[in-house]
Amino acid sequence: MIVITGAAGFIASYLAEVLNQQGRSDLILVDDFTTNAKRSNWVNLHFEQCLDREAFLPWFKENSKFIDLVFHLGARTDTTEKSQEILDHLNLNYSKAIWEVCSKAQIPLVYASSAATYGLGEFGYKDEHHLSTQLQPLNLYGQSKNDFDIWALQQNNTPPHWYGLKFFNVFGPKEYHKGRMASVVLHTFNQIQEKGQMQLFRSHNPQYKDGEQLRDFVYVKDVAKVCLFLQDRLPESGLYNLGSGKARSFYDLARLTFEALALQTNITFIDTPIDIRDKYQYFTEADMTKLLAAGYTEGFHTLEEGVGNYVKEHLVKEQAQK
């Protein structure tokens, strides 16, 4: 059986759907399943059992011998989270507990780290282990992810194979519940339906024009492929970047959404909210050398391909069904 934590959320529910498509229904789904906004992410999945995240750890200790692999993708992902207690519980201590069971029972573990660990990119975007202790995340969320990466690298007792995936800016189907934290593609699509236009954050950095803030955007379908590659191939353990390897602008992301809808681009700018303005990454770009050297050959969607597929094959069709 395969455990997937965060299974009501974005990436994990999409991965579970892909596993279903491959004929795997022996899934243990773990999350807080009481949030109605996430219900459609998991209700139609085929699985062995659903477990509340607070009930999972005791269950896991008792049933670890039946588990083949753990995808630990559940976390508090809000980059504006101010509660150290919540982040310590969900992102650090919970992850440590899963690691320890996987180590004792010798179960491979794939867990979600984040590109938020890189902060302003002072040390670049290389997934080299020795850099982890030097990184300076810009928020408590990024710090919690980096704290676990550092802890994992220090352990003598480890799962037989383990992978910490530094997710860059993931977009795609099943993110509708993320609200403020959803991708610019989804926000653009929704604003077009409501207002016929899109408002992007204005740049507050003189080195970047409005809308020209650059991020590494990666399609969730590529993220799932990488997860399955790790499951099947079990390369060398460690931290791995997971982006497209190519930085693109938020303006491009919004423009391509208009183009996918065959509409004229209509983009204006508003001030970046004060609560995130000083903690804002203006550039990220994953160095994908390590994953490619490990044998990953599936490639990645270009931004044009990913946005086009997401809008036409998912957002438009979902809108028509409402």
Please write down the long-range contacts of 26-33, taking CB distance under 8 Å and 24 or more positions apart.
26/1, 26/2, 27/1, 27/2, 27/3, 28/1, 28/2, 28/3, 28/4, 28/67, 29/4, 30/3, 30/4, 30/5, 30/6, 30/56, 30/74, 31/5, 31/6, 31/7, 31/74, 32/8, 33/8
Q: How many residues does the chain have?
A: 322
CA angle 318, 272, 143 (to 5 degrees): 85
Q: By the 8 A CB rule, do 148 and 95 touch?
A: yes
- Would you call 141 a catalytic residue per the annotation? yes
3-state SS assignment for residue 281:
coil
Read off the amino acid at residue 186. Answer: L
Active-site position among 126, 176, 178, 282 = 178
Q: Does the active-site annotation cover 178?
A: yes
Helices 53-63, 94-105: crossing angle, 10 deg rounding: 10
DSSP string of 262-305, one letter each residue: T----EEEEPPPHHHHTT--SB-----HHHHHTT--S----HHH
Annotated catalytic residue: which of 94, 141, 219, 240? 141
- 3-class DSSP assignment, residue 162: strand
Just list the catalytic residues.
Answer: 141, 178
